[in-house]
Amino acid sequence: MPLELVTTPAELRDALQSARSQGQSVGLVPTMGYLHDGHGELIRRSAAENDLTVVSVFVNPTQFAPTDDLGAYPRDLDRDREVAAQAGAALLFHPDAGAMYPEGHATRVQVSGLSTRVEGASRPGHFDGVATVVLMLLNLVQPQRAYFGEKDWQQLAVVRHMVRDLWVPTEIVGVPTVRAQSGLALSSRNSYLTDEGRLHAAVISQALRAMQAAYQGGEAQADKLRQVGLNVLAQQPVQLDYLLLLDRDLQPLEGSLSPEQAAEARLVFAGRLHGVRFIDNMPLVAPLA
Query: Cβ contacts of residue 183 below 8 Å, gap of 6+?
Result: 202, 204, 205, 206, 209
- In sequence order, the 6+-apart residues with CB closer than 8 A to the CB of 36 are 83, 186, 187, 188, 190
Q: Contact, 134 vs 162, CB < 8 A?
A: yes
Detail the residues annotated as belonging to a binding site for beta-alanine: 63
Distance CA 148, CA 53 (A): 13
pLDDT band for 189, please (50, 70, 90 cuts): confident
For the annotated binding site for (R)-pantoate, the residues are 63, 155
Active-site choice (39, 94, 161, 200)? 39
Q: Is 274 a catalytic residue?
A: no
pLDDT score for 48: 99
pLDDT in tens, 105-138: 999 999 999 999 999 998 999 999 999 999 999 9
For the annotated binding site for ATP, the residues are: 32-39, 149-152, 178, 186-189
In order of start, what are the domains of the chain with their CATH numbers?
A: 4-175 (3.40.50.620), 188-283 (3.30.1300.10)
| Residue 241 CB partners (closer than 8 Å, separation 6+) | 122, 270, 271, 272, 277
For the segment 73-94, what is each residue's pLDDT rounded down to a tens digit?
Answer: 889 999 999 999 999 999 999 9
